[in-house]
């Protein structure tokens, strides 16, 4: 039996990842520990690799900014590698990454390094991205009817592609028309969403943004996006005000059926 044709009030969907398409526990219980538990061995094994050294240089440059700013008392410089100070540099890198991850910083240098480490884990099969089944059903439906789908996450674009490219349901990258990370701007800023609308060439009112983060939802709505909160298990609890102010879904199939986003059949 063929599906009844439905016209939606949006032409484009913008999706968060953590707590939205993917369990929040996957990031905190799988991805983050993969970095911290394997960091020392990873550095020892790949120390002469040019890509690793490029990643360390990004961390080094960020560390200089952090120390100079004086905002973080625990911030320490990462020394340049000279003479026989390899162990000193490694220890400084380990301290830097561990410190930043404890703060759950959304800094580009950290996100880039994490993505670099995760790539090896995904390619070896040690890591597999987890995507909710209802998300996959919605992706299929949206693609069938020509709705464009994009990702906007604080994780780097490279890390996003790894999660969806090596998912527990196979390679899902074919469903996405593009990816955005915080290089386009903070997810808490109105301007970021306005810039994304320009990039994807849709009016803000034609874009539906789904996220578990209320502050992100507020920012997107201020840019005139259509918005809804996704409330998954173990996500941060929503207040009564949040539930009154915004539409809340517990899965993506509810999004497809909600009258707020279905155009009048006149």
264 annotated ligand binder: no
187 annotated ligand binder: yes
The whole-angstrom separation of Cα 148 and Cα 207 is: 9
Q: Which of 22, 49, 262, 205 is nearest to 128 (CA)?
A: 22
Measured in whole angstroms, the distance separating CA 47 from the mean position of its chain's CA atoms is: 27
Strand partners, 32: none
74 annotated ligand binder: no
The number of beta carbons lying within 10 Å of the beta carbon of residue 200 is 17
Matching residue, tokens 């539409």 = 247
The whole-angstrom separation of Cα 245 and Cα 243 is: 6
Q: Which two tokens stand for residue 101?
A: 């991850």
168 annotated ligand binder: no
Binding residues: 16, 18, 153-154, 187, 212
Binding residues for Mg(2+): 16, 18, 212
Binding residues for substrate: 153-154, 187
């Amino acid at each position: 039996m063929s599906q009844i044709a439905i016209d939606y009030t949006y032409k484009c969907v913008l999706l968060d990842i953590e707590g939205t398409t993917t369990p929040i526990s996957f990031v905190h219980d799988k991805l983050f520990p993969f970095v911290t538990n394997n960091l020392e061995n990873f550095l020892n094994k790949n120390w002469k690799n040019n890509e690793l050294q490029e990643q360390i240089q990004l961390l080094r440059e960020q560390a200089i900014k952090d120390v100079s700013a004086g905002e973080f008392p625990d911030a320490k410089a990462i020394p340049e590698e000279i003479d026989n100070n390899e162990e000193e540099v490694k220890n400084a890198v380990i301290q830097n990454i561990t410190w930043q991850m404890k703060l759950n910083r959304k800094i580009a240098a950290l996100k880039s390094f994490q993505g670099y480490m995760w790539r090896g884990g995904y390619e070896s099969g040690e890591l597999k991205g987890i995507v909710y089944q209802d998300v996959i059903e919605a992706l299929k439906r949206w693609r069938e009817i020509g709705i464009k789908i994009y990702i906007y996450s604080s994780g780097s674009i490279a890390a996003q592609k790894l999660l969806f490219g090596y998912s527990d349901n196979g390679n899902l990258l074919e469903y996405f028309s593009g990816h955005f990370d915080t290089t386009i701007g903070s997810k808490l800023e109105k301007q970021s969403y306005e810039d994304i609308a320009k990039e994807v060439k849709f009016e803000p009112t034609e874009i539906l943004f789904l996220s578990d983060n209320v502050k992100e939802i507020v920012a997107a709505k201020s840019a005139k996006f259509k918005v809804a909160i996704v409330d998954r298990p173990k996500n941060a609890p929503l207040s009564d005000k949040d539930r009154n102010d915004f539409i809340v879904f517990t899965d993506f199939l509810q999004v497809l059926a909600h009258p707020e986003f279905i155009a009048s059949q006149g």
